[in-house]
Amino acid sequence: MTLAAALIYWVIVALWLTVLVTLVVFYVRNPRAFGTTRLLLAVVAIDTSRNVIENAYFGIYFGGQYGIFPAAVVNVLGEPILLILPKIINVIAGCVVLGLLLLRWLPSAVKERREVEKSAEDARRLSGMMDEFVANVSHELRTPLTSIAGSLGLLAAGVAGKLPATAVRLISIAHENAQRLVRLINDILDIGKIESGTMTFDFAPIDLRTASERTIDANRAFAQGHDVTVLFDRASPNCLVRADADRLIQVLTNLLSNAIKFSPPGGEVVVTIERRAQAGRVTIRDHGPGIPEEFKPRIFGKFAQAARDDARQKGGTGLGLNIVAKIVEQHGGIVGFENAPPGGTLFYFEIPLWEAGAAEAPARSLAELSTAV
């Protein structure tokens, strides 16, 4: 009876090994038809069932030995010592199965990883080539376009003599479009410089109030053309920040021109300055239609323009806010926007205050300044 009981268990082990090996062989020959996940689930299911039978076998044996089951059960099932060899075979079979899976999976995993890395490298190289191509073309176009725009501006102003009204209108349209192309090219070149790290920043102590007033004066004609009034909060304090003067003016100009373009005729744009513990903050508030909810997450992205009927009519390249975000980031600052009830949008940016003796130091972020306090 002891030998018969042991043979029963051996038959169970043999069946388990047969099914397991069959699954592995089928997988190795047809990996796509079966799939690694399904194979692993099948192996787990088979091994679990074998484990359940084995536990029942030993449970009944010891249950009979301790009186839970009739004593005759012990004689029928035999001694557990006879089952040690099958258990060793189980362990070896498990190691073999694991080895086969690893041998089948590891090479393909390594190959896939190399292919992904190669694809990523090719994509980076192609992207770099495209950026270089766009930068070179833009650079070559900027000079002649600037010359064309300047010449058209002179013609529209009557420098070459009085022109018929129809000719003046056509020249004015051409002049506006030429200026728009020049702005687009300048924006593309600026983005390229920032992303490649070749844009230089000459940091110095700059008064936010003075920079804001100059930017407002420079855009006064643009605002009048849109029938918009730009107001500066005279209660704004003088605020010395660490900034590149030209890039700071560029940030202010981009934000201010955006606010003007999207303000209704007769509307107002208000510029305010605040001095905070570690930074100077500029706020530009308009009374336009606001920013669509679905557009907010990507407002500072490249070529981002809201899908509104009037968005394209307002002109622009869709790069202005992206440039603003990158320049402010290079200054160690932050930029953002908020809804401005009852209507409109409030854009703001913060730049760290000037620290005495910091002329040669790199820009420090607001987070670093807060940590240092």
Domain spans, the chain: 203-372
pLDDT of residue 150: 84
User: Which of 348, 295, 285 lies closest to 318, judged by CA?
Assistant: 295
* pLDDT category of residue 328 using cuts at 50, 70 and 90: very high
pLDDT of residue 364: 47
On average, the pLDDT of the chain sits at 77
**What sign does the dihedral 302-214-336-286 (CA atoms) show?**
negative
pLDDT of residue 136: 73
CB 171: neighbour CB atoms within 10 A?
18
Superfamily of domain 203-372: Histidine kinase-like ATPase, C-terminal domain (3.30.565.10)
Residue 265 reports pLDDT greater than 50: yes
Q: What is the pLDDT of residues 277-313, one digit of tens each?
A: 889 999 999 998 888 888 888 888 876 665 555 554 5
Residue 336 reports pLDDT greater than 90: yes
> Please, are residues 253 and 271 in contact by the beta-carbon 8 Å criterion?
no
User: Which of 198, 201, 232 lies closest to 217, judged by CA?
Assistant: 232
pLDDT of residue 255: 94
pLDDT of residue 223: 92
Q: Tell me the whole-structure pTM to 2 decimals.
A: 0.58
pLDDT of residue 273: 95
Which range, 26-30, 86-90, 321-325, has the best average confidence (pLDDT)?
321-325
Q: What is the pLDDT of residues 146-185, one digit of tens each?
A: 888 888 888 888 887 888 888 888 888 888 888 778 877 8
More confidently predicted of 191 and 242? 242
Tell me how far apart the alpha carbons of residues 193 and 199 are, in angstroms, rounded to a whole number: 5
Q: Half-sphere exposure of residue 229, counting CA atoms within 13 Å on the CB side?
A: 6
Tell me how far apart the alpha carbons of residues 278 and 262 are, in angstroms, rounded to a whole number: 31
* Mean pLDDT lowest among 9-18, 171-180, 254-263: 9-18
* pLDDT category of residue 186 using cuts at 50, 70 and 90: confident
Q: What is the pLDDT of residues 20-60, one digit of tens each?
A: 677 667 666 666 665 566 666 666 666 666 666 666 666 66
3-state helix/strand/coil string of the chain = CHHHHHHHHHHHHHHHHHHHHHHHHHHHHCHHHHCHHHHHHHHHHHHHHHHHHHHHHHHHHHHHHCCCCCCHHHHHHCCHHHHHHHHHHHHHHHHHHHHHHHHHHHHHHHHHHHHHHHHHHHHHHHHHHHHHHHHHHHHHHHHHHHHHHHHHHHHHCCCCCCCCHHHHHHHHHHHHHHHHHHHHHHHHHHHHHHHHCCCCCCEEEEEHHHHHHHHHHHCHHHHHHCCCEEEECCCCCCCEEEEEHHHHHHHHHHHHHHHHHCCCCCCEEEEEEEECCCEEEEEEECCCCCCCHHHHHHCCCCCCCCCCCCCCCCCCCCCHHHHHHHHHHHCCCEEEEEECCCCCEEEEEEEEECCCCCCCCCCCCHHHHHHHC
* Mean pLDDT lowest among 26-35, 61-70, 125-134: 61-70
Mean pLDDT calculated for residue range 258-278: 92
Mean pLDDT calculated for residue range 329-352: 91
* Mean pLDDT lowest among 116-125, 227-236, 333-342: 116-125
pLDDT of residue 372: 40
- The strand pair at 334-339 and 345-352 is best described as antiparallel
pLDDT of residue 370: 44
Tell me how far apart the alpha carbons of residues 191 and 320 are, in angstroms, rounded to a whole number: 10
Residue 371 reports pLDDT greater than 60: no
pLDDT of residue 199: 83
pLDDT of residue 4: 60
Task: Calculate ∠ Cα 223-167-265, nearest 5°.
Answer: 20
* Mean pLDDT lowest among 87-91, 133-137, 180-184: 87-91
pLDDT of residue 281: 95
pLDDT of residue 334: 94
Q: What is the pLDDT of residues 198-214, one digit of tens each?
A: 788 899 999 999 999 99
CB 35: neighbour CB atoms within 10 A?
12
Amino acid letter at 66?
Y
Which range, 64-78, 85-99, 191-205, has the best average confidence (pLDDT)?
191-205
